[in-house]
């Protein structure tokens, strides 16, 4: 996993609530392997010509075509558990998503991949969007160590739990950390399946 | 200290706690499917081994062919089904794939096989894993990195969610189903309403639901933002479970049911959030927009954004209506459809097919209509009752089991611009295929729309048989 400490980039506004993972990475792209990359999957149906919106999609036009930060609406990443949504964002070049709230599965998937999900109060998100609208191309700096978002003269702090922050900062593999405690897992298993042997399907035919 | 059902399962499955408040939970059952391949790649890349093949169960459903005449199959779909078979062989876990008499959608076949047991922690790389909580388990969907973690360690780090109790008392009206109940809840609390929570369902209307209905309710709990839905085990769930292939038997059944009898929230348990719904106020529901929360009774009209006070919400309604090709104030029952789909992990069970067949009986499809059983077992059971004959006589196409047109990643899809009455779970833009327009509704309502050519209140159609 790519560590995350600090990132500065152009922020694109996506002021829409409930942006779901089907929209972020449509199903037809999911059959490819991780190594094949998912950049072109990102918002493919919004970026393409199939959309019914007269206006071009925000990420299709300068200065936002080089954006690396998204500022979005409530409940970002809802719906399907597909981690491809996070991969599509990262492969496209997005490192930070700022929103008033995130869907739980998406939030976890982000942390596992070095994409920083930043939860800010709705009014702060609105303020960032207003600032970007006033001067398109505005950059934002997200500093994970300081837990701060800086945009022009505006400085905001955000919450993230210490463990997840540490995991992102160091780019740690959670599997290795857990396997260090394998004896605890084994002890748990011995007790669990002694009490409830029926939980092992092969013993119930 | 009084405990909720969540507290009890959480405690029993805690391997250890971390200083920051996260808990390492033991996973009793890990379902994997044919879209889980990236996690196996991760396992290989990290040089890890599958820790518990005996607690891992594979099911081919997302990419599997259903034999639908409308399918546009690509070679990689079958290849990904084969990749799952190779991973099952390599790591030695049980697999239900093409040709297996027990293959099906993991959220249909798993419970059906008795692999989903009360009190267990269940995960799967699919957000509709919430389904399994209907049997009194804690079940939730996870992403590829977490899947790899579970494969390698049989555990998962989680922060304890908040507990919401949704109490639905009273009696559902005639022609009102579990699907209408969950759509009503989603409409009430919104797609973000359950974020950070699990939802425990309670109340007389929930207790009166069949096991199939309960699975439907828990299934779509994720559409309300909660990762899990749960219903405490009772006589309905235990008698449904008794005798299933992997359910405990004999003395084990006795012991298990004694333990499972404790699996309920204490009377004085405190929930972080409480929601109440009166069952008799629930009507047959249908969605008009591009989020499951965009839902109204079939007797209603398409909302008019001009009457929406909140400017953001107004913009969203306008956008949804543009995508859906609908005009404000149009009666929902006047919306013409291009096709209908009955199936999915939400509504692909025997009871669902019976309800659809009762409406289809003696009528003719006005649009292409596909009925896809949730599992091979459901298919056999339905055929034994002659439901397939009812559907065929009505001109519906009867296919093999799979996720099919609900997820549209297997060649079964709704063509661009077409409008589909669908017994599935998501009406997102492009969900059933690029440019597809989805109206979510119950299986009976989908069948009623199919034979009418437009959305219609199924209660107004006389039911035969």
ipTM: 0.92
Out of 3.30.460.10, 3.30.565.10, 3.20.19.10, 3.30.70.20, the CATH code matching A6-172 is 3.20.19.10
Burial string for B422-454 (b: 16+ CB within 10 Å, else e) reads bbbbbbbbbbbbbbbbbbbbbbbbbbbbbbbeb
Which CATH architecture is the domain B5-273 placed in?
2-Layer Sandwich (3.30)
The span from the CA of B432 to the CA of B411, in Å, is 10
Best residue in B102, B143, B246 for a mutation probing chain A (most A CBs within 10 Å): B143
Can you give the pTM of this predicted structure?
0.95
Q: What is the largest CA-CA distance in chain A?
A: 67
Query: What is the average pLDDT score of chain B?
Result: 97
Domain spans, chain B? 5-273, 286-460
Comma-separated ranges of CATH 3.20.19.10 domains in chain A: 6-172
- pLDDT category at A172 given cuts 50, 70, 90 is confident
Considering only CB atoms, which chain B residues are within 8 Å of A108?
Answer: 142-143, 146
Interface of B with A in 257-286 (CB under 8 A): 259
Between chains, do B152 and A179 touch, taking CB under 8 Å as contact?
A: yes
> Is the confidence at residue A51, as pLDDT, over 60?
no
Q: Over pLDDT 90: what percentage of chain A? A: 84
The span from the CA of A75 to the CA of A114, in Å, is 19
Give me the residue from B127, B247, B293 closest to A105, CB to CB. Answer: B127
End-to-end CA distance of chain B: 53
Q: Which letter does DSSP use for residue B100 in this model? A: -
What pLDDT sits at residue B399? 98
Out of 3.30.1340.30, 3.30.499.10, 3.40.190.150, 3.30.9.10, the CATH code matching B286-460 is 3.30.499.10
Instruction: Report phi then psi at B295, rounded to 5.
Output: -135, 140
Query: What is the average pLDDT score of chain A?
Result: 93
pLDDT tens for each residue of A108-162: 999 999 999 999 999 999 999 999 999 999 999 999 999 999 999 999 999 998 8
Match 């629930």 to its residue by tokens. B282
Helix (H) or strand (E) holding B369: strand B369-371
The more confidently predicted of residues A161 and B237 is: B237
Best residue in A83, A90, A113 for a mutation probing chain B (most B CBs within 10 Å): A83
User: Do B5-273 and B286-460 show the same overall fold?
Assistant: yes
Q: Which letter does DSSP use for residue A199 in this model? A: G
What pLDDT sits at residue A1? 77
HEC sequence for A59-70:
HHCCCHHHCCEE
What pLDDT sits at residue A204? 53
Question: How many other C-beta atoms are found inside a 10 Å radius of the C-beta of residue B86?
Answer: 11
Between chains, do A205 and B46 touch, taking CB under 8 Å as contact?
A: no
Question: Closest Cα to residue B257, out of B281, B244, B276, B241?
Answer: B241
A171 CB near a chain B CB, below 8 Å?
no
What pLDDT sits at residue B81? 98
What pLDDT sits at residue B1? 87
Between chains, do A16 and B316 touch, taking CB under 8 Å as contact?
A: yes
Interface of A with B in 4-33 (CB under 8 A): 15-18, 20, 22-23, 26-28, 30-31, 33
Instruction: Report phi then psi at A48, rounded to 5.
Output: -75, -170
Chain-centroid distance, C-alpha B377:
17
What pLDDT sits at residue B312? 87
């Amino acid at each position: 996993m790519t560590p995350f400490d600090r990132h500065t980039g152009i922020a694109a506004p996506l002021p829409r609530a409930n942006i779901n993972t089907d929209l972020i990475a449509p199903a037809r792209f999911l059959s490819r392997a991780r190594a094949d990359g998912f950049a072109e999957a990102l918002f493919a149906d919004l970026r393409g010509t199939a959309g019914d919106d007269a206006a071009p999609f925000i990420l299709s036009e300068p200065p936002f075509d080089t954006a690396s930060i998204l500022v979005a609406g409530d409940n970002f990443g809802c719906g399907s558990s597909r981690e491809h949504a996070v991969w599509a964002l990262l492969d496209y070049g997005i490192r930070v998503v700022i929103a008033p709230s995130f869907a739980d599965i998406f939030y976890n998937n982000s942390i596992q991949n070095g994409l920083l999900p930043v939860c800010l109060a709705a009014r702060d998100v609105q303020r960032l969007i207003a600032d970007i609208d006033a001067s398109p191309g505005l950059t934002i700096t997200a500093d994970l160590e300081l837990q701060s978002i800086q945009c022009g003269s505006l400085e905001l702090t955000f919450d993230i739990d210490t463990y997840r922050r540490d995991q992102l900062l160091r780019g740690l593999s959670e599997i290795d950390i857990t396997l260090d405690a394998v004896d605890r897992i084994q002890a748990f298993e011995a007790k669990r399946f002694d009490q409830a042997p029926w939980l092992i399907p092969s013993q119930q035919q | 200290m009084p405990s909720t059902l969540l507290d009890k399962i959480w405690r029993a499955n805690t391997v250890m706690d971390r200083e920051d408040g996260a808990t390492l939970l033991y996973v009793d059952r890990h379902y994997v499917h044919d879209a889980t391949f990236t996690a196996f790649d991760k396992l290989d890349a990290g040089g890890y081994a599958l820790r518990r093949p005996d607690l891992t169960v594979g099911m081919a459903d997302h990419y599997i062919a259903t034999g639908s005449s409308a399918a546009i199959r690509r070679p990689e779909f079958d290849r990904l089904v084969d990749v799952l078979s190779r991973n099952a062989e390599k790591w030695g876990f049980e697999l239900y794939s093409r040709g297996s008499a027990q293959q099906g959608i993991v959220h249909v076949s798993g419970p059906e096989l008795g692999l989903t047991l009360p009190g267990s922690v269940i995960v799967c790389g699919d957000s509709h894993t919430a389904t399994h909580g209907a049997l009194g388990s804690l079940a939730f969907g996870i992403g590829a990195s977490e899947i790899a973690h579970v494969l390698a360690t049989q555990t998962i780090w989680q922060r304890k969610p908040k507990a919401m109790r949704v109490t639905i008392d009273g009696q559902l009206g005639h022609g009102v189903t579990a699907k209408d109940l969950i759509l009503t809840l989603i409409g009430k609390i919104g797609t973000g309403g359950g974020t950070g929570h699990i939802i425990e369902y309670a109340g007389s209307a929930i207790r009166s639901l069949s096991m199939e209905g309960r699975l439907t309710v828990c299934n779509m709990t994720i559409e309300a933002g909660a990762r899990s839905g749960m219903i405490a085990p009772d006589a309905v769930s235990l008698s449904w479970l008794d005798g299933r292939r992997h359910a405990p038997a004999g003395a084990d059944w006795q012991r298990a049911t004694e333990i499972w009898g404790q699996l309920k929230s204490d009377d004085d348990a405190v929930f972080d959030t409480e929601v109440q719904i009166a069952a008799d106020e629930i009507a047959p529901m249908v969605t008009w927009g591009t989020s499951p929360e965009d839902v109204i009774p079939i007797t209603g009209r398409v909302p008019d954004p001009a009457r929406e006070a909140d400017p953001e919400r107004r913009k969203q309604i306008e956008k949804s209506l543009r995508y859906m090709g609908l005009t404000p104030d149009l009666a929902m029952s006047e919306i013409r459809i291009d096709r209908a789909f009955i199936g999915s992990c939400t509504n692909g069970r025997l009871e669902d097919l019976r309800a659809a067949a009762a409406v289809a009986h003696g009528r003719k499809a006005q649009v292409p209509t596909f009925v896809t059983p949730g599992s091979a077992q459901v298919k056999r059971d339905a055929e034994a009752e002659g439901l397939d004959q009812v559907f065929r006589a009505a001109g519906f196409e009867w296919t093999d089991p799979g996720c099919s047109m609900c997820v549209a990643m297997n060649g079964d899809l709704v063509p661009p611009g077409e409008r589909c009455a669908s017994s599935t779970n998501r009406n997102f833009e492009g969900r059933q295929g690029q440019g597809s327009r989805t109206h979510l509704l119950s299986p009976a309502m989908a069948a009623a729309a199919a034979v009418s050519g437009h959305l219609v209140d199924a209660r107004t159609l006389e039911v035969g048989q």
